[in-house]
């Protein structure tokens, strides 16, 4: 061990000491969506950004005002670990009214820093090192990363492109074993926008119960279901006690930056997650909790307007894609994405995404970033104006003509 004087004399600083990275995170891979984002940031010239995973709207003003008023009135302190009682109450009411899921706000709900923290807490609470976490793919890349952080083994379970990547319970059940601690279901799904078939969800949940595992239900796009209902998984399956529901304000209320989410489920699991939450982040930001309170209990008209705009964009994008040769996508029934089949183009989805960026000025997310089964696809987000969407799709059409040589 060098003393401080020798360290200074010999120029040994923290900066030139070899970094030691924990084995747990050594396997972390850079997200392919992030790669595209970085390339887009370096790119000079006019780009159409269709890789984004968040609503392009600012948070409605009355929500911002609700939070600011609360901050002015002194809501600047830690809150209870599980979240302010009135916020938990508002979430429980919202879940009952809109999702038909009934939870006790005092014992079955914890308010978190975004849905992301809720997902991580759920995994930390129910998986043991070495356990399997099953992830139907294409799926959001952070699930694997979080399972790895929790010491578990993420297991991709590919869904079928012939079935537009709907949930196929048989495939999930075949991948289950006594090592399975959790199955992650995200409906409507990022990246496909697909709202999964209920019977398949029911069958997966039955199997989860048989294996004494948990279904982690990521319902963050539940507020953006265009054709279908917003009923939560825990409202209709036979084993709601096995369902840990994750949701938040980011998508429906355009509140990504406020970092406000929640986890609802079995009392013992919630009690454990609240303890983990206490020793990691203490509580969700008190100002953001007040923003959530206004979002959940206040005027809903601006939220409904955003929803209508998303639905119109979804229809525009799908109809326009139908006119472009060599590419296709089903009409997504939820979320803010279409998963475009570009398998007739030359190259991997990463190469296609890079070519589309460099030669045509459109930024997308390569399908392979959502699991191997996403190869041959691009995820396009419709969280952009109709003008930009039109411009982007015109450019994709140009590329299609060049690729197909017509």
256 is a site residue for ligand PMP (CB under 6 A)? yes
Residues in the chain: 406
248 is a site residue for ligand PMP (CB under 6 A)? yes
Going from the C-alpha of 25 to that of each of 145, 149, 194, the distances in angstroms are: 9, 7, 31
243 is a site residue for ligand PMP (CB under 6 A)? no
Instruction: Please select the residue that binds ligand PMP; options are 75, 123, 220, 378, rule is CB under 6 A.
Output: 220
> For the chain, give me the number of helices (H) and strands (E)?
15, 12
| Secondary structure element (H or E) that encloses residue 235, with its range | helix 233-236
Phi, psi of 195 (to 5 degrees): -95, 115
115 is a site residue for ligand PMP (CB under 6 A)? yes
Instruction: Please select the residue that binds ligand PMP; options are 218, 222, 266, 397, rule is CB under 6 A.
Output: 218
186 is a site residue for ligand PMP (CB under 6 A)? yes
215 is a site residue for ligand PMP (CB under 6 A)? no
190 is a site residue for ligand PMP (CB under 6 A)? yes
| Secondary structure element (H or E) that encloses residue 356, with its range | helix 349-360
Helix axes 286-297, 61-72, angle to 10 degrees: 140
261 is a site residue for ligand PMP (CB under 6 A)? yes
Q: C-alpha angle 262/277/267, rounded to 5°?
A: 65
350 is a site residue for ligand PMP (CB under 6 A)? no
Cβ closest to ligand PMP, residue 246 vs residue 340: 246
> Near ligand PMP by CB under 6 A, which window of 38-46, 114-122, 128-136, 149-157?
114-122
Residue of this chain nearest to ligand PMP (CB atom): 114
105 is a site residue for ligand PMP (CB under 6 A)? no
Could you give the count of Cα atoms lying within 13 Å of 172 in the half-sphere of its Cβ?
A: 28
Considering only residues 43 through 102, tell me which ones interact with ligand PMP, judged by CB under 6 A. 53
Look up residue 9 and give its two tokens: 């004399």
Task: State the CB neighbour count (10 A cutoff) for residue 150.
Answer: 24
Instruction: Please select the residue that binds ligand PMP; options are 187, 250, 288, 384, rule is CB under 6 A.
Output: 250
Kindly state the number of chain residues that form the binding site for ligand PMP, as judged by CB under 6 A: 13
Q: C-alpha angle 257/258/260, rounded to 5°?
A: 120
Radius of gyration of the chain (CA): 22
Cβ closest to ligand PMP, residue 263 vs residue 270: 263
Rounded Cα gap, residues 322 and 215, in angstroms: 36
> Near ligand PMP by CB under 6 A, which window of 111-119, 165-173, 290-298, 377-385?
111-119
Residues contributing to the site for ligand PMP (CB under 6 A): 53, 114-116, 140, 186, 190, 218, 220, 248, 250, 256, 261
């Amino acid at each position: 061990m060098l003393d401080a004087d020798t360290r200074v004399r010999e120029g040994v600083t923290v900066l030139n000491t070899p970094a030691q990275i924990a084995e747990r995170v050594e396997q972390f891979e850079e997200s392919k969506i992030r790669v595209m984002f970085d390339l887009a940031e370096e790119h000079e010239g006019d780009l159409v950004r269709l890789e984004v995973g968040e609503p392009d709207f600012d948070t409605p003003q009355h929500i911002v005002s609700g939070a600011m008023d609360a901050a002015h009135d002194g809501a600047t302190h830690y809150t209870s670990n599980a979240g302010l009682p009135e916020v938990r109450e508002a979430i429980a009411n919202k879940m009952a009214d809109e999702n038909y899921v009934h939870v006790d706000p005092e014992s079955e709900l914890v308010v978190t820093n975004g849905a992301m923290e809720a997902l991580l807490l759920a995994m930390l609470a129910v998986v043991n090192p070495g356990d399997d976490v099953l992830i139907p793919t294409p799926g959001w890349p952070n699930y694997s990363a979080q399972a790895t952080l929790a010491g578990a083994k993420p297991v991709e379970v590919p869904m079928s492109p012939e079935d537009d990547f709907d949930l196929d319970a048989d495939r999930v059940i075949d991948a289950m074993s006594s090592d399975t601690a959790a199955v992650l279901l995200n409906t409507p799904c990022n990246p496909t926008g697909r709202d999964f078939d209920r019977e398949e969800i029911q069958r997966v949940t039955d199997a989860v119960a048989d294996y004494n595992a948990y279904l982690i239900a990521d319902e963050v796009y539940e507020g953006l279901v265009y054709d279908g209902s917003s009923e939560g998984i825990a409202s209709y399956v036979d084993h709601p006690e096995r369902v840990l529901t994750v949701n938040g304000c980011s998508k429906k209320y355009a509140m990504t930056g406020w970092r406000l989410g929640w986890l609802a489920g079995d009392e013992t699991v919630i009690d454990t997650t609240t303890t983990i939450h206490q020793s990691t982040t203490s509580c969700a930001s008190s100002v953001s909790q007040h923003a959530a309170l206004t979002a959940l209990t206040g005027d809903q008209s601006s939220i409904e307007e955003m929803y209508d705009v998303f639905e119109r964009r979804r229809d525009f994008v799908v109809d326009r894609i139908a006119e472009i040769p060599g590419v296709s996508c089903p009409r997504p029934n939820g979320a803010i994405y279409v998963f475009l089949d570009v398998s007739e183009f030359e190259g991997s989805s990463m190469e296609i995404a890079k070519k589309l960026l460099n030669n045509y000025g459109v930024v997308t997310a390569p399908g392979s970033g959502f699991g191997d089964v996403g190869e041959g696809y691009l995820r396009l987000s419709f969280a952009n104006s109709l003008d930009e969407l039109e411009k982007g799709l015109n450019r994709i059409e140009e590329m299609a003509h060049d690729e197909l040589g017509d």
